[in-house]
Structure 1
Amino acid sequence: MKSLRAALAADPAIGAGNVLATVIAHGADLNGPGLTFDTPVDDFPAEHPLTLGELDERVQARTAWLHGRGIGRRDVVAIWATEAADIVLSFLALTRIGAIPALLNGKMAPAIAEEYIRRLRVTGVLVGEAHSGLLQEAPILGAPRDLGTGDPALAPAAYRHHQDDPVVITHTSGTTGVPKAVLHSHKTLYAALKHLLTMPQSQGTDRILNALPIPHTATILMVNQVLGNRAEMLLLSTQDASTVLAQIERWKPHGVYGFAVTWAGLAREDLSKHDLDSVRMWFNTGDCAHEPHIRKLVAVGTRETVTREGRVTVRGSHFVDGLGSSEMGHNGFHITHTIDSDHYGRCIGKPYQFASATVLDSSGEELPPGKVGLLGFRSPTVSPGYWNDSVNTYKFRLNGWFLTGDLVYRDETGHYFHLDRVPDAVAGFDGPQLYTSMSEERILAALPEIQDCTVIIVQENGQFLTDVLLEVPADADPIKERDERILAAVGEEVASTIRRIHVVGEDEVPVTVTGKVRKVALRTERLTSARVEQPAAPAAVLADGARR
C-alpha cells in the first residue's frame, strides 16, 4: 500500500483524468476495492462493492459506447442525473477518452439547467431517468445507463492527458440564479491529492461514506482519493439526514464526508438513539460548520489515540472543518475538533501546506492580523477559471490572489476566522460591521435549544433591517427569554438593526441545489415586507420578536 501511494505521488503523468487507469498500471490488485453505489450498476445489484477490475470493466463499456457515437477529445458532454453511479461512471468514462464532462446537480430547475447547458456549448447531454423530457433544445445523447451496454472489448486506448488539459466542469451553488461553470484541469484537481499521498493516511479514510452532493467537485476529489488510497467508499445519491444515519448504522463507515447542511440535519436528530460507534472522523467541506452541530457529532463515534499504555480507542470522534469551494478545488483550510475542543467562533484553521492565504483590502493590499477583509487564496488546486466566462474569471482575481467571496480575519497565530459571504454582509472597511454568518454562529452557540437559524440583512431608506429566522423542534417548550438572549448574543451593532425574530419551518427557508440558504431570495422577500414595517430602532422587543 505504501509503495503504491508513493509511486502515484511520484508519477508525473497522473492527474484527475486518469487515476483509475494509473492505479491499475501501477499494479493495484484488481480484486481490491473499487467503488460502491447505492443503486444498481448494470447487472450488479445496489450496494455491490465493485472490485477495481469490475469498476474498470464497467467504465470501459461506457467508454466504448461514447466512442461509438463519436465522442472524443475536448467534446463537452453534460450529465444531468440524480444517481451517484450515473454521474461518477460517466465522468470516469468521458475523461478516459479525453472528453470534458460537465456535471449538473439533479435538483437544478429545468429552465436553469437548459440555460446553463446552452452557455456550456455542449456536444451532447446525458439525461437521467428522472429528467427525461425536461430539456427542450439540448442535444440529447441518451441516458447514462445506456452507456453500460457498450462492449468493453471495443473501448479505445485511454487518452493521454497533458497536465493543463481540462477534465471536468462543475458548477457553483447558484445562490443568485444560473450557476457559474467552474473548470478544472488534470493538474489542478489532483494537486492536493498528490500532496496527501506523501503524508500518512488519516484515521477514518479507509472506509468512507460519501454524503457530498455527487455532481460537486468534492465528490470527484473523493473518488480519486479513495482509488489512490485503495480504500472503500459508498456513494449516496441523496444526502438527507435519515438516509445518512441509516447507512452509518448499516454500512459502518469510519469516515463520513459532507457539507454543512448535512451536519445541521444530523444535529436535529437524537444521535444517542443511533449506533454511530464506527465513525472515527467527520469531514466537512464547502461552508464551515457551526459549533453546536460539530459538538453534537464529536460526542458520538470513537477514535484512536496514543497513550502511555499504547494505542487505545476512546469515546468521541474527530471533526475536520475548514473552508472550500468548487473554485478552490480542495478545502483550502483545515482545523480538527474533538470532544475537548474550544477553538470555535467560526475558526477555519490554517491553510494546507500546499496553499497560502491572506486578508486583502479592496485595492489588493494585505491587511495585518485582526483586520477584516477579503480572503485571498493561492494554491495549485485553484480552478483556471469559469468555462466560457472570462468576465467572472478575471473579476475574482486581485493582485495575484483568487478572491473566494468571503470576509475573514486572521489572528496572531495564523488562524483564520470566517465572518460572512461578501453579498450577505454589511461590512465595508468603514461604517457598520454587520455579519449574517457570524450572527448565526453566535445565536446557535447561545441558544442550544434552536436547531438552526438564518439571519438576513436588508437596506431600506438608508436603514439596515435585520430579520432572524429560527428553526426549533416541533414539540419544543417555549424558549425562555429567547429574544433578549439573541440580542445579547449578536452584539450591540447587529442588535440595534433587528426588526423581527420569529420561528419558521424548515421548508420556509429556500436553499440551493447543494443545500445552501438562498439569502438573496430571502432578502428580496424580506425587503418587500420591510416596506410595511416601522423603522427599526433599538427599543423594546415585542412578544413575537418584532422591533419598533
Structure 2
Amino acid sequence: MTTNLRAALAADPDLGAGNVLPKLAEHGADPERPTLTFDVDVDGIPAWTALSLGTLTERVAARAEWFHRHGVRRRDPIALYATSAPDVLLNAYALMWLGAIPALMNGNMPIPIAAEYVRRLRAAGLVLDADHAALREYALGTPILGDAAETGTGDPALAPPHVRHHPDDPIAVTHSSGTTRTPAAAVHSHFSLFAAVRALRLAQPRSRGQVRELSVMPAAHAAGLVTVNQSLCNGYELLFLSAQGGPFEHSGATILDAIERWRPTGVFGFAVTWSELARHDLTARDLSSVRNWNSTGDCAHETHIRRLVAVGSHPVVTRGGVADLPGSRFIDMLGSTEMGHSAFEMIHTHESDRYGRCVGKVHPFAEVVLLDRETGEEVADGQVGHVGLKSPSLAPGYWNDSVGTYRDRLRGYYLTGDLMYRDAQGYYYHVDRANDAIDLGDGEHLYTALSEERILTHCPDVRDCTVLAAREDDGRVVTDVLLQLVEGADPAADREPLVRAALGEAAAVTVRRVVNVPDDGVVTGPTGKVRKFLMRQDLLAEVARGRVDPSTV
C-alpha cells in the first residue's frame, strides 16, 4: 500500500508543498497511520504521542477555521513567531489550507530584530506566543491576531475547503540565518519547495522497514517544511523537537536523550548540531538505532563526521537475512534557505577518506557552475569560483525586496554566496563563504571555513573553532583564531604552533592571536550559525583602539 501510495503521489502533477495533507487523503492514505510526534503537548494531546494522519489533519483544520474566522484570506502574509514546533508547523499548514502565506520566524530571533523583520514583511497579521510577548510593545504596522495557544481552539468541522494551489503560488516565507544582515525573507512556491521531494524522495526507492526520523532543525526553516512533507509522503514517522536553544543551551544532551528514548533510524540537523554532539562521549550512549545522520545548511567538519559514523548501525544482507552491523552513514547536503533544498550530496561511512570539505556531487535536478564574479566566465577545475545555481527548488526571490532578489543573479544563475572548486572527478569542495574570505595577494587567499577544517584536524582537543579575518583601512589583514576546547582539554597548552601550521605560511603571518573562548564567546544567529560579520567589526574596533596587546594573550 505504501508503494502504491508513493507512486500515486509521484504521478500527481498537482501535488506540491501547499497541499500534501488533502492529497494524502485523496489518494487513500491510512488516516490511522502515525505521522508527527512532538516533545510538547498539542491541544491536550500529551507530548511524545504520535499524531495519526487523521488527527494531524483535524488539528490543522481547527487552526484553519480559527484563522479564517479572524479574517485571514488567500494570499495574506501572516507572520508566525513562536518557540514550539507544533505552534510553527500546524499553524503554517493551516494557513496554506486557506491559501495564505505563513511567514515563519525562528523563535531565537532577538525581539528588536524581529520587530524590524515584521515591519519589512508588511504582513496582514501576526501570531506570537508567550515567549515573544515583548514584541507587542513595538510599533509593527501589523495587527496581532492572537496568541499561538489560541489557534488550536477552532472548530475543524467549520474549516473552509482546502484551496487549490497552482505551481507558482507563494505558500511560505522563511528567512536566512542573518549572519551578515537583518534576516532576508525568502519566498517559496507550491512547486519550488516540493521539487526536491518529488525528484529525490518519491522517485527513489523507499528505505526498507520502519523509518523513524528525528528533526532537530528549527521548525521555522525551509528545511523543516521539506522534512515534514517528505516524511508524510513516504509514510515515515517524524519526531520534531522544539528544544531549539542556541549552541550552548542544550549541549547536545537533549538530542541524545531523544535518540535513546524514541529510537530514530535517521537524524536531521544543521552543522552546528554535530558540533553539539561532539561535546559528548557518543560511545556511552545507545545510538544503535541510527542508520543515517542527515546534515544540511553549512558543510559539516570531518572531525565531527568521523565520531558520528563510528556509532549507530547499518543494515547488511546476509545468508540469514538482514543484519544490523555497527557504523552509520553521514549524508552531507549543503544547502540554504534560498536554495530551497540542498544541491549537493556527499555520503560518508567509517571507511570514507574523501574529506577536506568535500560536499560531493550535484543532485540530478540541479545545475551548478563555478564562476568568476567579475567576468561571469566559468573557472577551470581546481580553481575556486563563486557557486552559481539553477534548480527547480530555488526560492523565486525575496519578499518585498527586488534589489536583493536580482543582486545575486548572474547569467541566469543564483549566486549562493559560496566559494568552491571542483576536481577532475566532478566532486565539489567548499572553501568559504564569499563574505568571509580574504585575498592576501600573490595568488594567496585566506579561506576561513577551510582554515577551521584544518585546525580541527590538527588539534584533536579542539571541539570547534572560529577564524575571523578582516582587512584594516591601511590594507593589512588581521586574523583571530577562537578555539572551543573539548571537555578535559588543558586550557594552558600552547596550540598556536599547530594552528599556524594548519593555516599555512601566507595566512599564519596575519594571525594576531590564538585564544580559547567559552561558548558564549562566539556570536551566533537564530540557527546557531556564527555571525562572523559582527565579530569582524568588533575585531577591527579592538585593533583600532589598541586594546589587545598580543604579548598579554
Q: Do they fold alike, i.e. is TM over 0.5? A: yes
Q: Partner of 2:230 in structure 1?
A: 225
Identify the residue that residue 98 of structure 1 maps to in structure 2. 99
Unaligned runs of 5+ in 2: 245-249
Distance change >3 Å, CA 199–CA 412, structure 1 → 2: same
Measured after TM superposition, the shift of residue 33 of structure 1 is 1.7
Within 1, Cα distance between the matches of 2:459 and 2:14? 52
Contact 1:34 1:53 in 2 (8 A): no
Report the alpha carbon displacement of residue 69 of structure 1 after superposing the two structures with TM. 1.6
> Which residue of the partner structure matches residue 379 of structure 1?
391
Q: Give yes or no for contact 2:440–2:446 (8 Å, CA) kept in 1.
A: no
Structure 2 counterpart of 1:404, which letter?
T
Post-superposition shift, 1:147? 1.3
Name 1:453's counterpart in structure 2: 465
The corresponding residue for 1:279 is: 290
The whole-number CA distance in structure 2 between the counterparts of 1:512 and 1:130 is: 18
- Given the two structures, how large is their TM-score scaled by the length of structure 2? 0.94
Does residue 162 (structure 1) correspond to residue 175 (structure 2)? The answer is no
Contact 2:111 2:134 in 1 (8 A): no
Among 465, 472, 476, the alignment partner of 2:485 is 472
Contact 2:361 2:426 in 1 (8 A): yes
- 1:359 and 1:308 map into 2 onto residues whose CA distance is 47
Q: Which residue of 2 aligns with 1:296?
A: 307
Partner residue in 2 for 1:483:
496
Query: 388, 398, 402: which is aligned to 2:414?
Result: 402
Instruction: Say yes or no: does 1:390 pair with 2:411.
Output: no
1:54 maps to a residue whose letter is T
Answer yes or no: is 1:366 the counterpart of 2:378.
yes
How many angstroms does 1:448 deviate by? 1.2
Cα distance, 1:111 vs structure 2: 1.4
User: Partner residue of 1:345?
Assistant: 356
Instruction: Give CA-to-partner distance per residue, 1:289-322, whole Å, 9 cap, x none.
Output: 0000001111111111346776432111100012
User: In structure 1, what is the Cα distance between the partners aligned to 2:133 and 2:464?
Assistant: 36
**Equivalent residues of 2:420, 2:432 under 8 A apart:** yes
Q: 2:337 aligns with which of 314, 322, 326?
A: 326
Question: SS of the residue aligned with 1:134?
Answer: helix
TM-fit CA distance, 1:118: 1.0
SS at structure 2 position matched to 1:413: coil
Q: Aligned pair 1:147/2:151, yes or no?
A: yes
Match of 2:17 in 1: 16
Structure 1: gaps of 5 or more residues = 537-541
Contact 1:204-1:279 within 8 A present in 2 as well: no
Pair 1:463-2:476 in alignment: yes
> C-alpha separation between the residues in 2 aligned to 1:335 and 1:429?
32
Deviations 1:16-51 (A, max 9, x none): 000011011100000002211111111211111000
Q: Which residue pairs with 2:255 in the alignment?
A: 244
SS in 2 for 1:319: strand
Distance in 1 of aligned mates of 2:261 and 2:421: 42
- In structure 1, what is the Cα distance between the partners aligned to 2:441 and 2:87? 47
Letter in 1 for 2:438: V
For 1:482 and 1:260, how far apart are their aligned partners in 2? Answer: 24
Q: Which secondary structure state, in structure 1, belongs to the residue aligned with residue 288 of structure 2?
A: coil
Task: Write the distance in 1 (CA, Å) between the matches of 2:507 and 2:529.
Answer: 22
SS of alignment partner, residue 501 of structure 1: strand
Is 1:192 matched up with 2:200?
A: no
SS of 2:435's partner is helix
Specify the code of the residue in structure 1 equivalent to 2:206.
Answer: Q
Alignment-derived partner of residue 539 in structure 1: none
For 1:148-193, what per-residue CA distance to the aligned partner results, in whole angstroms no more than 9, with x for missing partners? Answer: 1111111111100010000000000011231100000000000000
Cα offset, 1:477, TM superposition: 2.6
Q: 2:279 aligns with which of 260, 268, 277?
A: 268
Kept in 1, the 8 Å contact 2:438–2:446? The answer is yes
Worse-matched range after superposition: 296-305 or 205-214: 205-214
2:45 is aligned with what amino acid? Answer: F
Structure 1 CA distance for aligned equivalents of residues 317 and 455 of structure 2: 36
1:70 CA displacement: 1.7
Residue-by-residue CA offset, 1:461-501 (whole Å, 9 max, x unaligned): 21111110001135323575521111111111111211111
Indicate if the aligned counterparts of 1:204 and 1:281 stay in contact, CA closer than 8 A.
Answer: no
Partner Cα distance (1:447, 1:4) in 2: 50
Aligned mates of 1:104, 1:518 — CA distance in 2? 18
Cα distance in structure 1, aligned partners of 2:491 and 2:184: 42
2:365 to 345, 354, 367: 354
The structure-2 alpha-carbon separation of the partners of 1:390 and 1:347, relative to structure 1 and needing over 3 Å to count, comes to: same
- Equivalent residue, structure 1, for 2:123: 122
Residue 504 of structure 1 corresponds to which residue in structure 2? 517
Alpha-carbon deviation of 1:195? 1.0
Q: What is the identity percentage for the equivalent residue pairs of Structure 1 and Structure 2?
A: 51
Q: Is 1:58 matched with 2:63?
A: no
* Cα distance in 2 between the residues matched to 1:429 and 1:10: 54
Partner Cα separation in structure 1 for residue 303 and residue 50 of structure 2? 35
Shift of 1:358: 1.2
Deviates more, 1:2-11 or 1:477-486: 477-486
| 2:371/2:379 contact within 8 Å kept | yes
Tell me how far 1:513 sits from its aligned partner.
0.3
Assess, with a 3 A threshold, how the Cα gap between structure 1 residues 69 and 481 changes in structure 2: closer, same or farther.
Answer: closer
SS in 2 for 1:145: coil
> Which residue among 177, 180, 184 is the counterpart of 1:176?
180
Q: How many residues align?
A: 540
Secondary structure at the aligned position of 1:457 is classed as: strand
Conserved in 1, the CA contact under 8 Å of 2:542 and 2:548? no
**For the residues of structure 2 that align with 1:306 and 1:409, how far apart are their CA atoms?**
37
The letter for the 1-side match of 2:64 is T
Contact 1:204 1:280 in 2 (8 A): no
C-alpha distance in structure 1 between counterparts of 2:442 and 2:318, whole Å? 50
Distance 1:365-1:87 versus aligned 2 partners, 3 A rule = same
Q: Give the distance between the partners of 2:497 and 2:40, measured in 1 at CA.
A: 49
Partner residue, 1:37: 38
Residue deviations 1:316-353 (CA, integer Å, cap 9, x gap)? 11000121000111111000001111110000001111
Mean CA deviation greater in 514-523 or 144-153 = 144-153
* Shift in alpha-carbon separation, 1:371–1:203, aligned structure 2, 3 A: farther
